[in-house]
Structure 1
Amino acid sequence: MDQWSQMNTQSNGEFSRIMGGNFSRKQRQLDEAEKLFQAALLEAKEGFGLRDPHVASALNNLAEFYRLKKEYEKAELLYLEAIEILEESFQSDDIRVGTALHSLGICYHLQRKFAEAQTCYERALKIEGRVMGVGHPEYASTLYLLAKVLSLQGKRRDAESLTEESIRILEEAGLGESPTCIQRMTYLSMELIKSKRLGEAETWQRKILHTLELSKGWDSLHTAHAAELLSLTLQALEKLKESEELFERCLAARKKVLPEGHFLVAVSLVYLARLTLHKFASDLKNIDSDVAKHYFARAKQHSNDSIRITEGILNSSSKDQNKLDSTSATDRDKIAATAILLQALEVVGLIDIAAKHVLGKGDPNYRSIDDAVNKCISLYRKPGTRRLVTKVVKQDYMRCLRLLINIIEDHLLMQQTMELQELLGEAQLIIEELGEES
């Protein structure tokens, strides 16, 4: 490894240490780190001259620092200056220029300057392919980044082809089971789903699950997540029996690995509740009232368990959460719990209306839609969760309320109590308020 690359590798390790640590400690270190990088740049200029490769290395290090701080414009100017010096010192097809172009491409990518990022990645690829060879993992990495910016520009077929090539390179290098390769296969499967090519997505997701089953087993959250993604695709393809089996295995794996009150357990439960209703709807002609009751009871149990878990996360204090899983309920946990709770409340509404049609209005076991609306409104009234709703899950919240309102207005018009009418009025006001904020 040459001196320039070695210095960059060392500095990147320092960036990771600073940016990945405790938040308050990180904040205290940032100013000091910036001064150190600026001092290193000044020292390089004074010691080696303004156009020396050592200066380019120092410029690149400071640029990386600003990129990690999300001060992209500052980083961009420093990368450009570093590339200019390197091209003067080593010519434009030198690998050091390629490495710097790769970094500048990432900076443009993060700024959503996709055309500029594409140009940098393509230039970097030519250099890397010539120097390292087209079978090198670093070449594959740049291919993957280029694929992502092409996809963001609507060039999905080209992006899919490059992603597949990136995966093939890793597999031929013996890295087919690596987290990097799994990540790229997952990305490719999601791109295929966006293109409505579910059959091809299913093939890749089966490959991912098979790889993880062999390498990690089922006592792994990675395997459970892969099973969940495949289950959702199978459900969309109407392969409901296999989808349910995978959802059940995913739920069992998460319950074994995670605390009972973890939001990922709630995710599995709400997906199973939705799938149960999907199975009921797909075989409606052949279902009698007893079988229907079985479906509804199963869906209701799953959705209620999901609601119980998510409400526990949203209502827990830091002290309670410490008892639960040794971590406080972070904003990320609460955002996830809020989104899952809304999905579970939607399922409750769907169960109610399905039961009304099949079992008749006299069955008292499925009259919980007003409770679902009440929970949805109560969620918004709480200052803590309201902040999360308006900031992150606004569209989820509006969709849930609209669904519940529509069910009540379309199917329960003659059964509305004064209390339910008041709830509907308040729900409509919240939707209007959120719409104005949008």
Structure 2
Amino acid sequence: MLGTGLTGWSASSLKTFSMVECFIGGMTVMMKLRLRSLASEVVRSSSSRVLSTYTRYILTKTIHSTPVTAEPCIAKLTGPRFHIAHHNRFFIPRSCGMRLVEVHNSQSSVSSTLAALLPALCLGLSLTPVLAEDASTEVTATDSIGLQKIDDGSVVSNIHTSKWRVFTDSGRDFFLQGKLEDAERLFIGALQEARQGFGERDPHVASACNNLAELYRVRKAFDKAEPLYLEAINILEESYGHEDIRVGAALHNLGQFYLVQKELDGARACYERALKIKRRVLGEAHADYAETMYHLGKVLHLKGKGKDAEALIKDSIRILEEGGQGESFLCMRRLQYLVQIYTNSNNITDALNIQRKILHTMEVSKGWESLETVIAAERLALILESAGRQGSLMEAKLLLQRCLDSRRTLLRNDNIQIAANMLHIARVELLLYSHTRGNISEATATIDNAKHLLGNAIRIARQALDKLIKQGANGKPNQLSRTDKYSERTALLILMQSLNALSQLEVTKAELYEPVEKEIPLHSEAEKALLACISAFRQYGIQRSLSSFADIKGEYLSCLKHLSALLSHSNSNGLKQSGRPTLQEVLNEIKRLEGGSSS
């Protein structure tokens, strides 16, 4: 992150470093620009514990107070620029974070030349934006300081441009930390300063618009985000033309915005236009061209055009593989999406082949000491489980057991991933029971093992929920981080799924063994498990504002339907036992969830 390795610098040391230009009068103009860039970067990268935002602003202004004559070739440029003499990186956004893309000075391709002249659109404009589902990555560098206007061969700077830089950097820091309200305030300030310092139709204004739009997209303030995206595109079109690569990158971002909202026609139009621009400027072998191709494939898949979507995604994978990125995260993600397409279309054979390829790549590159390999193996096991054949189920069980062993080595014993792994093995055991029910001893061992696994999964999930609730006891529910909220949701879903699976296991067990005491209801243990599932939904789902999530709601509905089936066969349905609903109450709740009327 910004400030790494600089926390020991004092304010006076940084100020002394920023005045280094006073001692280099005999050096070349290029060296002056480089040293000034380094000094400004140190100031802007300093930790907030060392320098306040105002102090960084004053030091940055001091560094740029003395004009430096630009080189003749640079003086001919008409747009903003930034120096790349002292490093070769610029930011590319991820949905909740950023990653770095190398731009080597030795490259002579059109794409690298254009990248070197891009405005620093630090969250919005880029060559390869990605969707919000992608994992964020930590950043250790920042973009360069040369966002300055070229005028008659001189570098022009004013108080508004300096404030724009400070507000943008600080807003980005808050954005990466998840402090979206603070980031919004600073991005709004950056947009105002950009308008005053650079002019209403300057590309720096487009940068500021895109940053603020990305923040609004993350906050789901879509009505505020769309006008900003459109304004950024209009400014870039006016500045560079309709076929410029920067316009293509901005269109990709707008396509991402529409895709998140499932506005598929708008997303398709943006991606198709962006793809045309990238093909012309970058060529069909470029990774950024493949990126837009992949997202267009996702849109077509959602629109039901399976064959076209599959062809585009396969081509995007081929481009990465031919470019030496066959083992990259991006390639693995696209292969995984292709598996999802095949699984949804019940093309189990192709899904298994691609997933085996993913697992092989992960084993070779990372080994079983990596959670990425474990997750790839678990996904393969779940596809094998869906096949339903005894041989596939046995292979799935072995894979899941290996995943569990690896997780126990890599994670704490109370980690929710271990509970999920146990749940998966238990489900496979229940499916294997249908193949062993003729052998009583084998069937008993299978059921007992599954019950033991489900009991541990339920215990771990409850502990995880109670721990998360205790951690947030002093704060308000709407102030929980997105990570904590997701962890709560995951733990509750695993708890409910485990209780639902336990109920099915108890029904299977009751069919295998007649109850010793005839007065004991046949499915009493199964009912207990389902009532515990309903109780968990009310305790954690409703009180913790998790009941509206589709997966949580779906599991609750499944639980109610299973309970109604048991109650309908119960001879004591008319008796209202403590904590046990009647059949009519359960049916009314099912109608309410499904959108019907309830009494």
TM-score (structure 2 length as normaliser): 0.64
Shift in Å, 1:96: 2.3
What pairs with 1:138-287 in structure 2 (closer than 5 Å)? Answer: 138-237=288-387, 238=389, 239-284=392-437, 287=438
Q: Which residue of 2 aligns with 1:7?
A: 120
What pairs with 1:14-413 in structure 2 (closer than 5 Å)? Answer: 14=169, 17-23=173-179, 26-45=180-199, 50-237=200-387, 238=389, 239-284=392-437, 287-316=438-467, 330-362=484-516, 368-382=525-539, 386-392=543-549, 393-410=552-569, 413=570
Contact 2:451/2:505 (8 A) holds in 1: yes
CA distance in 1, matches of 2:380, 2:466: 32
Counterpart AA for 1:344: S
Shift in Å, 1:29: 3.6
CA distance in 2, matches of 1:210, 1:404: 42
CA distance in 2, matches of 1:27, 1:328: 14
Alpha-carbon RMSD across the aligned residues, in angstroms, is 3.2
CA deviation profile, 1:48-96 (whole Å, cap 9, x unmatched): xx55545544544444444444433443333333333433443322222
CA distance in 2, matches of 1:213, 1:16: 36
Q: SS state of the match for residue 121, structure 2?
A: helix
Q: SS state of the match for residue 390, structure 1?
A: coil
CA deviation profile, 1:252-305 (whole Å, cap 9, x unmatched): 111211111111111111111110010111343xx2222221111011111111
CA distance in 1, matches of 2:594, 2:373: 39
- Flag the 1:375–1:139 CA change in 2: closer, same or farther, 3 A: same
- Flag the 1:334–1:131 CA change in 2: closer, same or farther, 3 A: same
Any gaps of 5 or more consecutive residues in structure 2? Answer: 1-112, 126-141, 143-168, 474-480
Shift in Å, 1:385: 5.4
Contact 1:349/1:407 (8 A) holds in 2: no
Shift in Å, 1:437: 9.6
Shift in Å, 1:218: 1.0
Shift in Å, 1:339: 1.1
Q: SS state of the match for residue 453, structure 2?
A: helix
| 60-69 or 334-343, which deviates more | 60-69
CA deviation profile, 1:200-241 (whole Å, cap 9, x unmatched): 111111111111111111122211111111101111122111
CA distance in 2, matches of 1:314, 1:248: 25
- Flag the 1:135–1:317 CA change in 2: closer, same or farther, 3 A: closer
CA distance in 2, matches of 1:214, 1:134: 29
Aligned residues: 424
Contact 2:172/2:183 (8 A) holds in 1: no
Contact 2:124/2:253 (8 A) holds in 1: no
CA deviation profile, 1:377-402 (whole Å, cap 9, x unmatched): 33244266544452221221121232
The structure number with the bigger radius of gyration is 2
- Flag the 1:41–1:71 CA change in 2: closer, same or farther, 3 A: farther
Counterpart AA for 1:140: A
Any gaps of 5 or more consecutive residues in structure 1? Answer: none
| 423-432 or 223-232, which deviates more | 423-432
TM-score (structure 1 length as normaliser): 0.86
Shift in Å, 1:427: 5.0
Shift in Å, 1:422: 5.7
Q: SS state of the match for residue 112, structure 1?
A: coil
